[in-house]
Amino acid sequence: MLLELHVKNLALIERADVEFGDGLNILTGETGAGKSVIIGSVSLALGQKAPRDMIRSSAEHAYVELVFSVDEERRKELEKLEVFPDEDGLLIVARKIMPTRSISKINDETVTVARLRQVTGLLMDIHGQHEHQSLLHISKHLEILDTFAKSRTELLKAEIGEVYRQYRSLQAVLGESEGDQESRKREADFLRFEIGEIEEAALTEGEEETLTERYRRYTGSQKILENLSAAYQMVESDRIGQAIHLVNEVSAYDGHLKEFLDQLYDAESILGDIYHGIGAYLDDMTFDEEEMEQIRRRLDQIHSLQAKYGNTVEQIEAALEEKKDRLQKLENFDEYRKKNEAEYERLTKKLEKLCEKLSRERKAAAKKLTEQIKKGLEELNFLNVDFAMEFRRLKHYSASGYDEAEFMISTNPGEPKRSLGMVASGGELSRVMLAIKTVLADSDEIPTLIFDEIDTGISGRTAQKVSEQLAVISGSHQVICITHLPQIAAMADCHFEIAKSADGGKTTTKIRKLDEQETVEELARLLGGAQITDAVRQNAREMKDLARERKGLAPENRDRI
C-alpha cells in the first residue's frame, strides 16, 4: 500500500506531506483547489510524462516521492524484476523534474521511465478523470480481457508473437522473390561482378594501415631528406671535441671540472651514435616512384571496396558471404522459393492453430469477466443490465491473434445489446470502468487503487451505490479517491481536505487530514454549499453514521462481487 506522498514545488504545491491509511482514503476540496494536482503528482512519480510548466514558479525543480509498504507476495514479484524492498518492506519511488530533463529513482537507484512504470504497475493502478472514455475504443476491450486472463494467455500470446514475427519475415521474403526471370538474371549478374571484385582484391587484415604508413613516408621523403641531411651536417661538426679539449686544459686547476668533462665525453658518445644512425638511414633511403604509384592504386582499391561493402575487412567479408548466399538462392530460385513456400504454409498452419487456441481461452475468460462486470454494474445501480462480449475474426493475423472483441451492453429489458458508445452516457461509462477496475484489481491483486473523480455524471441513489462499491473494494485494497459527492466522502476511513490559499502574493495548495469534527464540517460543506446551517451539520453527522453502518455490511457485499 501507499504509506506516504511527499511533493515539493509542483504547480501550486510548495510542499505537501501526506500519510495515507488503510481502506478508503477520500480527498475533497473546493473546485480549483488543486485536487487533481495531488493525483497528478502521483502519476508523475509513476512515470507519466512530466510537463516542464508543472515546476512551481521561481523553483529550480519539482520533486515527488512515494513510500510503499510491500507484503511478502508483492516482494517476490518485485524481486523477479531485481527490485528489493528493505527489511521492513519499504520501497521508495522518487522523481525529480527539471526544466530540461527528469530523474527517476527506486530506492536511490536511478532507473528509466519504462522500468519505473514496470515496477510501479505491480503496486498501483490509477483511474483518471477521462479514462472511462477509452472504453469507446474497441481495442481497449481486448486489452482489458487479456489483462483479466493473463495467467491463461500470457505465454500463448508470447508464442504467437514469435511465430507471427517469423511469418511476417517470410512473407516479406516471398514478396521480394515475385520479380520476373529477367530481373533475377540481372541481379545475379551484378552479384557475380561484386563477388569477383571482392575476391580478386584478396584483402588482408591490417593491410590498409601498413600501406598508408608507407605512402605517407614516400610523400614526405623530400622533406625527410632535406632535414636529415642538415641535421647530419650539424652533428658532424667537431664542436664537442673542441669543448672537451678546452675543459681538459683547465681541469687540473679545479677538481669539480672533471664532472663537466665526463658529461662532455658522454655527449660525444651519444652524438657519435646519432651521427652514424642518420648516416645509415640516409644511405638506405630510396625513392621508388613506381612503387609509390602501386601503393596509391592499391589504397584507392581498398577505399573503393570500403565505400561499397564496409569499413573493415571483417565487414567486407560478411558482405561477400551475404552476396554468395543471395546468388546461390537466385541460381536455385525454384528450389529456394519452393522451400520458402513450404515453410510459409507450415507457419500459417501453426499460427492458425495457436490463434484458435488463444481465441478459445479468451472466449472462456470473457464469459467469466462479463459475468463479474455485470454483477459489479448491478451493485452500481444498473437495473436489468445485460453485459456481454462479442467476438469477430480479423481478416488477417496479428502478433496478438486474430480476435477483435467488443463489450456489448443493454440497460433496458427487451432491448438488444449494443456497443457501449451507442448506449452508455458519460456517467454510465464511468461506472462501467469502475466495475471493470474492481474485477481487474481482484484478478491482479494490485494493492492500491486511485480514482480521480469517479463520480462524474452521477448523483442521488447511484452515487450511494458507487460509494458502497468503493467501500467494498477498500475492504481488500487501499483506495484513494477524489470526489465532490457527500455520499462517497462519508464512506471515508481517512478524509483529507485540499485547500488553496494566498499568502504574501503567493498562491499555494495544501492538504491535511481531517479529524472527526472537521470531517462532519466538510460533509456539511458538500451538502449545503455556501450556507451551512445546523440542520445541514446534523444531516452530515447522520450521513457519516449511516456510512459506518453500511460499511459494516462490506464483508457480505464482498462475497457477492
Residues 6+ apart with CB under 8 A from 448: 1, 2, 68, 123, 124, 125, 477, 478, 479, 480
Can you give the pLDDT at residue 553?
A: 47
Q: Within a 10 A sphere around the Cβ of 287, how many other Cβ atoms?
A: 12
CA dist list (Å): 273 to 232, 277, 283, 327: 11, 6, 15, 62
Give me the count of residues in the chain: 561
Can you give the pLDDT at residue 105?
A: 94
Q: In 96-137, which residue ranges form alpha helices assigned H by DSSP?
A: 113-120
First to last CA, the chain: 22
Q: Is 414 left (phi over 0), alpha (psi -120 to 50) or beta?
A: left
Can you give the pLDDT at residue 107?
A: 93
How far apart (Å, rounded) are the C-alpha atoms in residues 332 and 434?
61
Can you give the pLDDT at residue 529?
A: 65
Can you give the pLDDT at residue 261?
A: 85
Task: Report CA dihedral (45, 50, 53, 56) to the nearest 10 degrees.
Answer: 20
Phi, psi of 435 (to 5 degrees): -60, -40
How far apart (Å, rounded) are the C-alpha atoms in residues 40 and 12?
12
Write the single-letter amino acid at 94. A
Can you give the pLDDT at residue 287?
A: 66
Element housing 68 (H / E): strand 62-69
Q: Angle CA(206)–CA(207)–CA(211) in degrees, nearest 5?
A: 125
Can you give the pLDDT at residue 366?
A: 95
DSSP bridge pairs for 389: 407
How far apart (Å, rounded) are the C-alpha atoms in residues 252 and 552?
119
Residue 553 is placed in which grid cell?
455490511
**Residue-by-residue DSSP string for 542-554:** HHHHHHHHHHTTH
Residue 112 is placed in which grid cell?
528509466
How far apart (Å, rounded) are the C-alpha atoms in residues 381 and 79?
41
* Contact indicator for 83, 93 with CB cutoff of 8 Å: no
Per-residue pLDDT tens digits of the chain, which is 561 residues long: 999 999 999 888 888 999 999 999 999 988 777 777 888 889 899 888 877 778 888 888 999 999 999 988 889 889 988 999 998 899 999 999 998 889 999 998 999 999 998 899 888 888 765 666 677 888 889 988 998 998 889 999 999 999 999 999 988 878 766 666 677 788 888 988 999 999 999 999 898 898 888 888 777 666 777 777 777 777 776 677 888 888 888 887 887 888 888 888 888 888 888 888 878 877 776 667 787 888 888 899 999 999 999 989 999 999 999 999 888 877 777 777 788 889 999 999 999 999 999 999 999 999 999 999 998 888 888 888 899 999 999 999 999 999 999 999 988 887 888 888 787 666 677 788 888 888 887 666 788 988 887 777 777 788 888 888 888 888 888 999 988 889 999 999 999 999 888 777 788 888 999 999 999 999 999 887 667 888 898 999 999 998 888 877 444 443 333
* Contact indicator for 33, 13 with CB cutoff of 8 Å: no
Can you give the pLDDT at residue 5?
A: 94
What pTM does this model have? 0.63
SS (H, E, C) 328-345: HHHHCHHHHHHHHHHHHH
Tell me which residue of 346, 352, 347, 363 sits closest to 153, measured CA to CA: 363
For residue 23, the 8-state DSSP code is S
Residue 417 is placed in which grid cell?
445489446
For residue 290, the 8-state DSSP code is H
How far apart (Å, rounded) are the C-alpha atoms in residues 264 and 252?
16
Look-up: residue for cell 580478386? 200
Q: Angle CA(415)–CA(420)–CA(425) in degrees, nearest 5?
A: 90
Q: Within a 10 A sphere around the Cβ of 183, how many other Cβ atoms?
A: 10
Can you give the pLDDT at residue 238?
A: 66
Look-up: residue for cell 571496396? 305
Q: What domains can you pick out in the chain, each with its CATH number?
A: 1-123+446-561 (3.40.50.300)
Can you give the pLDDT at residue 155?
A: 93
